Each structure stands twice: as structure tokens, then as C-alpha cells.
Amino acid sequence: MAAPQDVHVRICNQEIVKFDLEVKALIQDIRDCSGPLSALTELNTKVKGKFQQLRHRIQELEQSAKEQDKESEKQILLQEVENHKKQMLSNQTSWRKANLTCKIAIDNLEKAELLQGGDLLRQRKTTKESLAQTSSAITESLMGISRMMSQQVQQSEEAMQTLANSSRTILDANEEFKSMSGTIQLGRKLITKYNRRELTDKLLIFLALALFLATVLYIVKKRLFPFL
């Protein structure tokens, strides 16, 4: 089982490596920073905090080295502490150089923006004129669309009127059709009635003719054959 002192040494080394990597990452962020100064200030604040944590862990590791019972282990840990201190100094140097590079870049950018101020004003003026022209074109387009919509509404009203007239015509035709249908029905009834009456007349004529013939035959019989 590992001694508590060895565990503490291992934790210190792990924390030192972690803080060292975080410091290097922040220094790279400073190199890549293009402003503004507030962003650079925020990065530097983070770097300072990481350096404090790193320095504290190195001090703890150094104290643990001094408390080692074996001289060999003590010297090994002190050598590690020395390496960590050198690495921290190297990081501090890189930090200063990165700050200098970033500040120069921000200064150059601000100068360029000042020099381009006149161009920006001209560009803004041109942009305003372009926006005015675009606004006028949009207004004309909207007016054209409004006129087109008005025409469409008028055409729709005319189409509705035509449809209403067509509906009335269809209704009138339907009424006429109903009237004609009634007339046709009445005519059919009259024709049927006439056909029945014609049949009755024919039957009556036939009966009258038969009676006439019977009467004639009776008279002839009495004249020619009185004894019958």
C-alpha cells in the first residue's frame, strides 16, 4: 500500500502538469487575440490565477521533497521541483512575449481603423444612398403590387357578377323546364283521355251498326219469309 506522502507527491505532480498545460493554452490564446484590450486583460487575469496555482503546487512538492527520509528520493524530487520552476519561468517569458505581440497587433489594428475612418464615412454615405434607392425601388414595387391586386379584385368582382347572372339564367331555365314539364304531363293526360274516348266512340258505332244490321235482317226475314 502506498504511503500517504507518496500519494501527495503524485497528486502534486499531476496538478503541476495540468496547470502547466492550461497556462500554455492561455498563452496561445493571447498570441491569437486580436483585441480588444478588454479581452487581453481577461486572458491575463486567467494566466495570473493559473500561475499562482502552479507556484503553490511546486512549493508543496518542494516541501514534500524536503520531508523525504531517503536522500536519494529527496534529491530526485528536488530535481523535479527545479525542472518545474524552470518550466514556469519559461512560461512566464512566453507570456510576456505573447502580451507584447498582442499589444502591437492591437495598436496596428487601431491605427488602421483610424486611417480607414474617412473611407468608412464615405462607405456609410454610399450605403445610405444605396439604402434610399433600394427603399424607393421597394416602394415602387409595392405600389405596383397594390395596383395589380386592385385589378385582380376588380376582375374577381366581375367574375362573381357573371357567375351570379349565370346562376339566375340557370334558375330561370329550370323554372321554364318545370313549366314545360307540367305542360307535357297535361298533354299526355289529354291524349290518353282522347284515346279512351275514341275507343268508346268506336264501340258505340259498332254496336249501333250491329243493331242496324239486325233490324234490317229482321225486316227482310219478315218480308221474304212471313211464314217463319
In a domain, 63, yes or no: yes
In a domain, 227, yes or no: no
- Three-point CA angle 11, 59, 6, nearest 5°: 35
Number of structural domains found in the chain: 1
CB 62 within 8 A of CB 6: no
**Close Cβ partners of 50 (under 8 Å, ≥ 6 residues apart):** 19, 22, 23, 26
In a domain, 200, yes or no: no
Q: Give me 93's grid cell.
A: 517569458
Q: pTM higher than 0.75 for the full model?
A: no
Give 61-112 pLDDT, tens digit per residue: 999 999 888 899 999 999 999 999 999 999 999 999 999 999 998 988 888 8
- Please tell me the least confidently modeled range out of 7-11, 176-180, 201-205: 176-180
DSSP category for residue 115: H
In a domain, 12, yes or no: yes
In a domain, 99, yes or no: yes
In a domain, 129, yes or no: no
CATH number of 66's domain: 1.20.58.400
**Close Cβ partners of 67 (under 8 Å, ≥ 6 residues apart):** 5
Domain containing 92: what range? 1-115
Give 28-61 pLDDT, tens digit per residue: 999 999 888 899 999 999 999 999 999 999 999 9
Bond from prior residue into 226 cis (ω within 30 degrees of 0): no
Which of residues 126 and 67 earns the better pLDDT score?
67
In a domain, 196, yes or no: no
CB 27 within 8 A of CB 102: no
In a domain, 36, yes or no: yes
